[in-house]
């Protein structure tokens, strides 16, 4: 069974940093492109970052470019999101999502909540 479990969320002050993790199981992680998608409380979905299967290509939404860094460790079936210079508007549930190869996301984690507040 495909499973992805995010962790690392929590309460952080504006300007602070957090590192999110997503541990995958039940599939060959190194063969799949991965993404982070977030959802602010009561709001819609927002794609924020993509990484290729080997980690050689990364893309970011304009809202996080220069502040967030996506990475992966294929040996440990893990995806990461380093978030720096956090803002109040970064408050959201952060989901990791597996790319099915057709520009859609067929499996999602349960999400981890990041709250940026003073």
Binding residues for other proteins (CB under 8 A): 35, 37, 44-47, 50, 59, 61-62, 95, 97, 100, 102-106, 108-111
CB of 111 to other proteins, least distance (A): 6
**Residue 50 beta carbon to other proteins: minimum distance, rounded to whole angstroms:** 8
Nearest to 20 by CA among 85, 76, 87, 95: 95
- Other C-beta atoms closer than 10 Å to the C-beta of 104 total 9
- Nearest-angstrom CA–CA distance, 48 and 52: 14
How many C-beta atoms lie closer than 10 Å to residue 92's C-beta? 22
For 41, which DSSP code? T
Q: Which is nearer to other proteins, 9 or 109 (CB)?
A: 109
CB of 102 to other proteins, least distance (A): 5
Nearer to other proteins, 55 or 111 (CB): 111
Cβ distance to other proteins smaller for residue 104 or 118: 104
């Amino acid at each position: 069974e495909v499973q992805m479990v995010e962790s690392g969320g929590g309460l952080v002050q504006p300007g602070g940093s957090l590192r999110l993790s997503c541990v995958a199981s039940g599939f060959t992680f190194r063969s799949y492109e991965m993404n982070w998608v977030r959802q602010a409380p009561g709001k819609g979905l927002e794609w924020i970052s993509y990484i290729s299967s080997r980690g050689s290509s990364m893309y970011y939404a304009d809202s996080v470019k220069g502040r967030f860094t996506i990475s992966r460790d294929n040996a440990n079936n893990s995806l990461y999101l380093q978030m720096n210079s956090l803002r109040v508007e970064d408050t959201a549930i952060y989901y990791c999502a597996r790319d099915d190869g057709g520009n859609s996301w067929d499996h999602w984690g349960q999400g981890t909540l990041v709250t940026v507040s003073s």
